[in-house]
Amino acid sequence: MPNQEVNPSTANIVTKKTTREDGAVITNSGEQKKSSKNTPLATTQAAPTELSRSVIFLDREMSQIAFNWRVLAQAEDRTIPLLERLKYLCIVGSNLDEFFEVRVASLLAQNTVDGELVQHPNFQASLKRISTECHQLAQRQYELLNQEILPQLSKKGINLLRHSERNEAQRAWVKQYFEREVRPLLTPIGLDPAHPFPQVVNKSLNFIVSLAGKDAFGRGTGIAIVKAPRVLPRIIRLPDELSEKGMSFCLLSSVIHSHIADLFNGREVINYSQFRVTRDSDLWVDEEEVKNLRQALQGELQTRQFGAAVRLEVAKNCPDDLARFLLEQFSLSEDRLYPVDGPVNMVRLGELVDHVKQANLRFPPFSPKAIAKYSHTDIFTLLRKQDILLHHPFQPFQTVIDFIRSASLDPSVVAIKQTIYRTGMNSDLMESLITAARLGKEVTVIVELMARFDEEANINWADKLQRAGAQVVYGVVGLKTHAKLALVIRREEGGILRHYAHLGTGNYHPSTTRFYTDFGLLTAHPAMAAEVNEVFIHLTGLTKPKKLDYLWLAPFALQPQLIKAIRNEARIAREGRPGRIIAKMNSLSDESVIRALYAASADGVKIDLIIRGACTLRPGVPGLSENIRVRSIIGRFLEHSRIYYFRNDLAHDIYLASADWMNRNLFRRIEVAFPVLDKSLKKRILAEGLDPYLKDNMNAWVLDSNGHYERKKARGQQANFCAQQYLMQQLGSLSTADNE
């Protein structure tokens, strides 16, 4: 399971004009102009006070932390294989890193004047709540590691040894490893006026050392800093002949700890501790001044690692005086100090998972089944007959790769256009685009340089594409291009140009498609594919988009169209017929959309929301949201699909989308929601993307009106049902071998 958006799962470029994603209420064409006597407080047009907002909306940051508690519950689950439980611990660590790098950093930046935090009581109270929850979460994370997961792994023959647990032969080998591989790369820095506190890279492993005695020049410098080289592995496997049973490993931090005194010949090491600082990782570009986004971004990437500090992690036994010294150096208050009982970077324990190959400690192998009817058929011929719906990872992403590869080699294809948000460092799909450009096809790629934490990879691909002759566009400054679109144009019989399109809910990233759930639609529908082309023309030419009859395009029409569809269900309910909305996405926080959902609930619309991560809507509040239910699914795969379903008097309108219902998605990104028109494919989306998740009583968490989540359990004679397990069995090839 990836970073929860971990894999993710990202640092944003923030322009001068950017406001906080869940900040002031935005008035737009989607706002309700009149309020009836049946309209609850939440749907009135007046701007909410702090009190009213806290009553009708949940806190976004606390909701995000609650999501990480749900991920941690997977690590708590003893029915899950041990290595998978360890991976969930690492995911929580990665999620917390990003939470501090982005969310906490953003809060602090917006509430700082001349380098000093404002004293607004609500802001200070919010910081205190965040600190309390994050400290508790980190504490439980390390308790699970030390009290359950590592001891149980040891029973399985996988030993992560501290210095005190290593025998003489193992200690001798570790000493040799230190002298041979580690010491030559270390550069201890004794602090004095000529050697001030060094720049410490974001999330890097470092050591602070307290020294007694005089240095080589007769001075009493008392503090030194040692940086752990980033090129060294954090998990080191000892030779098998030194392991009494199974496999033995040690941490790089343990190796350095054990021999840190060897770095200070003639000095006495009094105390020491590992430490790690988390920094603000947002990238800042002045929209009014920047002339070349790529060059500006490359410059910012060089400084990202040294943003303002937001969190300090130290070893649990770090002496108070050293911890205070570090806090002072990083200008941090004591509540942002996190003493941990183990490695300061939990994420690096994922390397241990990679070392161990024992199948019984992992989830049973799963492979998506090849889609037989597509395998030996020309894909363009097939698409002229029918749309193809793909449900990843239960169906292979290879079909999408083959679509682009076939287009790159097909002499009838004259043009390929594609958006790229995340694609990874290695990508067959990108190589196909490069091949197409070299073969003389018109290749246009909109590369989103601001895809958080993927900026460097995207810059590299942009450079390769340009060298091959492709037209590369970097989206719109101030608006991330988050839409997932690909378009192929073929010259066919009679000289007619025909459009073929792929529209998706997830990234064109072959690796993440193996553990993210997403839908993709391949279509030759003339009008819809033509509208995809209009979106590309809009993005490359920066022209005003034409009126689109099929696609909902943000930031122009997506939010108004959503609210229109929600209000249509409310109208149907007021007229005495069933109103029904089901929506699935990563996060929900846009206040205007939430207000529309509240109004629909008051009119009797039955609403089910499947929100994996943060949700600021309060469900089940009498007079406000009693007809709204919210659940979150946390399982083997990261739920990433965005599905909008409106019953619409049995028309069963279904839209798939790249967008969550968040202010940033609806107003500060280029997003696309697209309809599924084929009735059989609509039934598939209901049967695969929504109904199983509403039935799930194993991986589902239900949100109450106070912001608390309770795990759903089978009751009475009800059978256990896991949506992801069901889909793996129905659509893929799941090993049934004993996994105990």
Residues tagged active-site: 482
Distances (CA, A) of 733 to 327, 390, 590, 722: 52, 16, 39, 16
Q: What is the torsional sign of CA 145, 148, 154, 157?
A: negative
d(CA 238, CA 231): 19
Distances (CA, A) of 291 to 48, 285, 477: 39, 10, 10
Give the residue from 296, 298, 310, 358 showing the smallest Cα distance to 338: 310
d(CA 581, CA 608): 6
Give the rounded distance of the alpha carbon of 554 from its chain centre: 21
Only one residue has tokens 């598939």, namely 684
Number of Cβ atoms within 10 Å of the Cβ of 718: 10
Query: What are the residues whose beta carbons fall under 8 Å from the beta carbon of 619, sequence distance 6 or more?
Result: 609, 625, 628, 629, 630, 703, 704, 705
d(CA 459, CA 481): 15
What are 452-457's contacts with CB under 8 Å, separation 24+?
452/10, 452/11, 452/12, 452/102, 453/10, 453/11, 453/281, 454/10, 454/421, 454/422, 455/11, 455/283, 455/297, 455/301, 456/301, 457/423, 457/424, 457/425
Q: Tokens for 106?
A: 């953003």
Query: What are the residues whose beta carbons fall under 8 Å from the beta carbon of 17, sequence distance 6 or more?
Result: 287, 478
Give the residue from 83, 259, 81 showing the smallest Cα distance to 184: 259
Give the residue from 212, 61, 71 showing the smallest Cα distance to 130: 61
Residue 424 amino acid letter: G
Counting DSSP H helices and E strands in the chain, the numbers are: 23, 33
Annotated binding site for Mg(2+), which residues? 422, 452
d(CA 147, CA 168): 26
Q: Is 678 exposed, middle or buried (0-12, 13-18, 19+ CB in 10 A)?
A: middle
Strands 638-639 and 709-711 turn out to be unpaired
Beta bridge partners of residue 734, listed in sequence order: 366
Give the residue from 111, 58, 20, 47 showing the smallest Cα distance to 609: 58
Beta bridge partners of residue 249, listed in sequence order: 160, 237
Annotated binding site, which residues? 95, 422, 452, 516, 612, 640
d(CA 128, CA 390): 45
d(CA 642, CA 554): 15
Query: What are the residues whose beta carbons fall under 8 Å from the beta carbon of 146, sequence distance 6 or more?
Result: 341, 342
Query: What are the residues whose beta carbons fall under 8 Å from the beta carbon of 302, sequence distance 6 or more?
Result: none
d(CA 57, CA 319): 42
| H helical segments located in 194-335 | 252-259, 293-303, 320-329
Strands 580-585 and 700-703 turn out to be unpaired
d(CA 355, CA 350): 9
